[in-house]
Amino acid sequence: MTQDDTTNRDTQPDLGRRKFLNSAALVGLSGAGLSVGLSACNKESAPGAKAPSAKGEVATHSPYEVPPGQLDEYYSFSSGGHSGDVRIYGLPSGRQLKSIPVFNTDNLVGWGITNESKAIIGTRPDGSLKYSTGDTHHVHQTYTDGTYDGKYFFVNDKIHGRLARVRMDTMECDKITELPNIQGFHGTFTDKRDPVDPKINHTTRVFCGAEFSIPLPNDGRDMEDGSKYKSLFSCVDSESMEVRWQVLIDGNCDLVASSYDGKLAATNQYNTEMGVHYEDTMSSEMDACLFFNVARIEEAVKAGKVTTIGSSKVPVVDGTRASNKDPKAALTCYVPIPKNPHGVNITPDGKYYACSGKLSPTASVIEHALVLKWFDGGLANARDAVVAEPEIGLGPLHTGFDNKGNAYTTLFLDSQIVKWNVEAAIKAFKGDKTAKAVVDRIDVHYQPGHGFTSMGETREADGRFFNSDNKFSKDRFLPVGPLHCETAQLIDISGDKMKLVHDHSVLSEPHDSIIVRRDIIKTRQIYDMDEFPNAVKDPAESGVFRNGKKVTVKLTSQAPAFSLREFKLKKGDEVTLILTNHDKVEDLTHGFAMPKYDINFIVNPQETKSVTFIADKPGVYWCYCTHFCHALHLEMRSRMIVEA
Ligand code: RUQ
Ligand code: CUA
Ligand code: CA
Mean pLDDT value across the chain: 91
Q: 163-213 pLDDT, tens per residue? A: 999 999 999 999 999 999 999 999 999 999 876 566 777 788 999 999 999
Amino acid at 389: E
CA distances to 74, 200, 349 from 172, in Å: 19, 20, 32
With a cut of 50, say whether residue 475 has pLDDT above it: yes
Report CA(137)–ligand 1 centroid distance (Å): 7
Please report the atom of ligand 1 found closest to the CA of residue 410: 2
Q: Which residue has the least CA distance to atom 1 on ligand 2? A: 590
CB atoms within 10 A of CB 298: 18
d(CA 289, CA 364): 9
If DSSP states are collapsed to H, E and C, what string results for 11-51?
CCHHHHHHHHHHHHHHCCCCCHHHHHHHHHHCCCCCCCCCC
Q: Which residues contact 397 (CB under 8 A, 6 or more apart)?
A: 342, 343, 356, 358, 409, 410, 411, 412, 448, 449, 450, 451
Q: Which residue has the least CA distance to atom 3 on ligand 1? A: 137
Please report the atom of ligand 2 found closest to the CA of residue 560: 1
Name the residue of 159, 189, 511, 514 to mutate for ligand 1: max ligand atoms within 8 A of Cβ. 511
Considering every ligand atom shown, identify the ligand nearest to the alpha carbon of residue 556 and give its number: 2
d(CA 291, CA 263): 10
Find the mean pLDDT for residues 440-446: 97
Q: Are 546 and 570 in contact (CB under 8 A)?
A: no
Q: 327-337 pLDDT, tens per residue? A: 999 999 999 99
Report CA(189)–ligand 3 centroid distance (Å): 23
Report CA(341)–ligand 1 centroid distance (Å): 11
Amino acid at 532: F
At residue 342, the 3 state secondary structure works out as strand
Report CA(534)–ligand 2 centroid distance (Å): 21
Nearest CA among 171, 247, 240, 176 for reference residue 208: 247
Please report the atom of ligand 1 found closest to the CA of residue 450: 2
What confidence tier does 226 reach under pLDDT thresholds 50, 70, 90? confident
Q: 299-332 pLDDT, tens per residue? A: 999 999 999 999 999 999 999 999 999 999 999 9
Nearest CA among 493, 392, 491, 385 for reference residue 436: 392
The string of DSSP letters for 210-271 reads: EEE-EESS-SSSSTT-GGGEEEEEEEEETTT--EEEEEEESS----EEE-SSSSEEEEEES-
d(CA 136, CA 155): 6
Ligand 2 environment, Cβ below 6 A:
559, 590, 625, 627-630, 633, 636
d(CA 336, CA 382): 7
At residue 385, the 3 state secondary structure works out as helix
CA 468 to chain centre: 16
Please report the atom of ligand 2 found closest to the CA of residue 634: 2
- pLDDT of res. 334: 98
Report CA(555)–ligand 2 centroid distance (Å): 14
* Measured CA angle at 138 (ends 132, 140), to 5 deg: 115
Antiparallel, parallel or unpaired: β 637-643 and 566-570:
parallel
Q: Which residue has the least CA distance to atom 2 on ligand 1? A: 449
Find the mean pLDDT for residues 365-387: 98
d(CA 391, CA 386): 14
- Higher-confidence residue: 106 or 58? 106
Report CA(510)–ligand 3 centroid distance (Å): 25
Q: 527-583 pLDDT, tens per residue? A: 999 999 999 999 999 999 999 999 999 999 999 999 999 999 999 999 999 999 999
Name the residue of 255, 413, 486 to mutate for ligand 1: max ligand atoms within 8 A of Cβ. 255
Q: Is the CB of 193 under 6 A from ligand 1?
A: no
Report CA(275)–ligand 3 centroid distance (Å): 8
- pLDDT of res. 197: 64
Please report the atom of ligand 2 found closest to the CA of residue 589: 1
Q: 258-293 pLDDT, tens per residue? A: 999 999 999 999 999 999 998 999 999 999 999 999
User: Boundaries of CATH 2.60.40.420 in the chain?
Assistant: 529-643
Q: Are 138 and 117 in contact (CB under 8 A)?
A: no
Please state which architecture CATH assigns to domain 529-643.
Sandwich (2.60)
Q: Is the CB of 398 under 6 A from ligand 1?
A: yes
CA 406 to chain centre: 25
At residue 596, the 3 state secondary structure works out as coil
Q: Which residue has the least CA distance to atom 1 on ligand 1? A: 511
